[in-house]
Amino acid sequence: MPVLEIRKAGDKILKEVAAPIEKIDRKIKQLLDDMAETMYAADGVGLAAPQVGVSLQLVVIDVGEGIIELINPKIIAYEGSEVGTEGCLSVPGMYGEVERYAAVTVEALNRSGKKIRINGSGLLARALQHETDHLKGILFIELAKTLHKG
């Protein structure tokens, strides 16, 4: 599985709204595998397809509890709010304080095309929101209350 190039802030694909996936085929499953490999190689906790140059609604996340693969993810419920520090593989060396929902529920498809629901709080909730923002063309630096180099 190849490690893909991670696009950096300023690349126009990171500002696009990603297209929904109509058909889960071998290419989509391979892309999920390659995205996971790329995320682990870069020591990230999440990666969205636009970050590797593909404007599709695909996300991989691992906050230490195993890989989560989401196809066409949508946040369907949320509660509370909290401010926390975020970074991004597409904005290396920059960190910022971002206000997010404290808990979210995301509905998506898995690689088999089955509808799944993920409930997340803490780091998982933050990662789910951060990665789904990528699918809308939003980078955390646009939402951050403060930014600093790390």
Catalytic residues: 131
Q: Indicate the helix (H) or strand (E) that contains 84.
A: strand 82-86
Q: Confirm or deny that 130 is annotated as ligand binding.
A: yes
Q: What is the rounded distance in angstroms from the CA atom of residue 28 to the CA atom of residue 12?
A: 22
Which residues on neighbouring strands pair with residue 121, listed in sequence order?
103
Residue with token string 């509370």? 80
Judge whether 148 is annotated as a binding position. Answer: no
Are the C-beta atoms of residues 49 and 70 closer than 8 Å to each other?
no
- The span from the CA of 137 to the CA of 139, in Å, is 7
Taking alpha carbons only, the member of 78, 70, 76, 23 closest to residue 48 is: 70
Binding-site residue ranges for Fe cation: 88, 130, 134
Binding-site residue ranges: 88, 130, 134
